[in-house]
């Protein structure tokens, strides 16, 4: 990718700034792109000023979102006919339809800017539609516990969304996105089931958690067991039998139509998020940053591939992810460059 700015006009630089703002949201953005962006930003004051102007769209979209909706009123034709109109060459009244367009088009444009701005800073796993459709959800960095009508409890991690659908014969919940711990109240007449992507999880005991990332679903059992199976109507399903996941085990489904056998997992590490902590034991820096990114607004980038594999060990609080980021950066001898209020580039 190359967005050059040599010997270009101010308009071209502003266009490049908007191009970069768009590229910074792209899923295929890599560290090379970030280094190129940093180089573009450092080429002169005009570049940083243009990017700052692009960022100010966020302020504009907030203003637009809070503004009242104006009614489009067509003036009374009789009153218009009674009003003297001074003579002007080629002066024609604007049709009512065009007046409507003149109001609607800027409104749609501002709505598009608002949506683009929100998507640009949300964590990559967020989904505005899923959040809107859910009964309960959490914001970035929020941890929320809810007691359901049957006495069961659900603990929602950051950016999670759940819908509840209880019937006389079954207690059904849908995990749209994120990570949730389910503490199930006993009810022999109504099974407790969680639908998440292609997977259906039926409780055979008390406490388990489910984590949905796009098509991937992981199931971790803290107490007793659950039975997992694939939805028969889901696409690409190659397996119809269910698999039991026991206490201390985790099943990780990768959206390929086949449920794998569960593996033993360290429960203290896997459930640390329930205490708003992150436990990392000799894991690559890339993995730590991916987890931190779930709890902060914006994105974290690494300047080169070699930094991804730097080993990290520690217990980190998720209440202040930027403080964790600063601490890890210092310990590893890295530098931190802020690209606007939300994006961070780590480099040597």
The secondary structure of 92-161 as a DSSP string is -PPPHHHHHHHHHHHHHHHHHHHHHHHHHHS-TT--HHHHHH-SEE--TT--EEEE-TTS-EEEE-TT-E
How far apart, in whole angstroms, are the C-alpha atoms of residue 8 and residue 148?
60
How far apart, in whole angstroms, are the C-alpha atoms of residue 291 and residue 158?
11
Quote the tokens at residue 73: 């009123």
- Residue 214 domain flag: yes
Q: 280 with 258, same domain?
A: no
Q: Are 27 and 123 in contact, with CB atoms under 8 Å apart?
A: no
Which helix H or strand E contains 215, and what residues bound it? Answer: none
At residue 285, φ and ψ (nearest 5 deg) are: -55, -35
- Residue 83 domain flag: yes
Q: 159 with 263, same domain?
A: yes
pLDDT of residue 127: 59
Which helix H or strand E contains 7, and what residues bound it? Answer: none
- Residue 3 domain flag: no
CATH number at residue 340: 3.55.50.30
CATH number at residue 214: 2.60.120.1440
Write down which residue in 121, 153, 169 finishes a domain: 121
pLDDT of residue 107: 52
Q: 338 with 233, same domain?
A: no
pLDDT of residue 152: 98
Write down which residue in 216, 247, 269 finishes a domain: 269
Quote the tokens at residue 71: 């009614």
Q: 51 with 141, same domain?
A: no
Q: 143 with 262, same domain?
A: yes
- Residue 4 domain flag: no
- Residue 317 domain flag: yes
Domain boundaries, position 293: 276-347
Residues 6+ apart with CB under 8 A from 26: none
Write down which residue in 269, 284, 316 finishes a domain: 269
How far apart, in whole angstroms, are the C-alpha atoms of residue 256 and residue 236?
7
How far apart, in whole angstroms, are the C-alpha atoms of residue 57 and residue 114?
8
Q: In Å, how far from its chain's centre is CA 285?
A: 21
Nearest to 195 by CA among 220, 212, 213: 212
Quote the tokens at residue 42: 């450092």
Q: Mapping DSSP to helix (H, G, I), strand (E, B) and coil, where does residue 331 land?
A: helix
Q: 215 with 162, same domain?
A: yes
- Residue 140 domain flag: yes
Domain total for the chain? 4
Q: 89 with 190, same domain?
A: no
Q: 200 with 261, same domain?
A: yes
Q: 48 with 76, same domain?
A: no
- Residue 199 domain flag: yes
pLDDT of residue 47: 76
Q: 134 with 256, same domain?
A: yes
At residue 334, φ and ψ (nearest 5 deg) are: -100, 170
How far apart, in whole angstroms, are the C-alpha atoms of residue 281 and residue 265?
13
- Residue 2 domain flag: no
Q: 115 with 140, same domain?
A: no
Digit-by-digit pLDDT tens for the chain (348 residues) are 444 434 456 778 877 877 776 666 554 556 677 667 777 776 776 776 777 676 665 445 444 444 443 333 334 433 433 344 333 334 445 455 444 444 444 554 554 444 444 445 555 555 566 777 799 999 999 999 999 999 999 999 999 999 999 999 999 999 999 999 999 999 999 999 999 999 999 999 999 999 999 889 999 999 999 999 999 887 777 777 899 999 999 999 999 999 999 999 999 999 999 999 999 999 999 999 999 999 998 889 898 889 999 999 999 999 999 999 999 999 999 999 987 777 899 999
Conformational region of residue 3, where left means phi above 0, alpha means psi within -120 to 50, and beta covers everything else: beta
pLDDT, tens only, 282-328: 999 999 999 999 999 888 989 888 999 999 999 999 999 999 999 99
Q: 248 with 170, same domain?
A: yes
């Amino acid at each position: 990718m190359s967005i050059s700015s040599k010997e270009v006009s101010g308009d071209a630089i502003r266009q490049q700034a908007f191009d970069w703002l768009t590229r910074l949201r792209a899923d295929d953005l890599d560290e090379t792109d970030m280094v190129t962006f940093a180089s573009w930003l450092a080429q002169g004051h005009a570049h940083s000023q243009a990017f700052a102007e692009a960022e100010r769209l966020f302020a504009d979209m907030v203003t637009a979102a809070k503004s009242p909706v104006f009614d489009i009123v067509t003036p009374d034709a009789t009153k218009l006919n009674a009003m003297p109109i001074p003579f002007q060459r080629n002066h024609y009244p604007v049709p009512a339809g065009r007046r409507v367009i003149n109001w609607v088009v800027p409104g749609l444009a501002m709505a598009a800017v608002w949506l683009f701005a929100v998507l640009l800073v949300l964590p990559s796993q967020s989904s505005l539609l899923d959040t809107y459709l859910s009964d309960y959800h959490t914001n970035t960095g929020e941890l929320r516990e809810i007691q359901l009508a049957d006495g069961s409890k659900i603990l929602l991690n950051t950016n999670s969304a759940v819908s509840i659908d209880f019937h006389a014969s079954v207690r059904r919940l849908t995990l749209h996105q994120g990570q949730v711990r389910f503490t199930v109240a006993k009810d022999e007449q109504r099974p407790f089931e969680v639908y998440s992507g292609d997977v259906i999880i039926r409780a055979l005991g008390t406490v388990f958690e489910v984590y949905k990332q796009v098509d991937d679903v992981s199931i971790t059992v803290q107490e007793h067991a659950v039975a997992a199976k694939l939805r028969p109507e889901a696409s690409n399903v190659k397996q119809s039998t269910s698999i039991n996941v026991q206490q201390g085990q985790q099943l990780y489904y990768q959206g390929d139509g086949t449920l794998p056998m569960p593996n033993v997992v360290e429960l203290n590490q896997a459930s640390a998020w329930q205490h708003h902590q992150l436990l990392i034991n000799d894991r690559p820096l890339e993995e730590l940053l991916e987890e931190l990114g779930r709890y902060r607004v914006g994105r974290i980038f690494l300047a080169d591939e070699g930094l991804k594999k730097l080993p990290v060990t520690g217990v980190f609080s998720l209440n202040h992810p930027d403080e964790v980021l600063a601490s890890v950066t210092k310990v590893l001898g890295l530098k931190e460059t802020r690209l606007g209020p939300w994006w961070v580039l780590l480099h040597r």
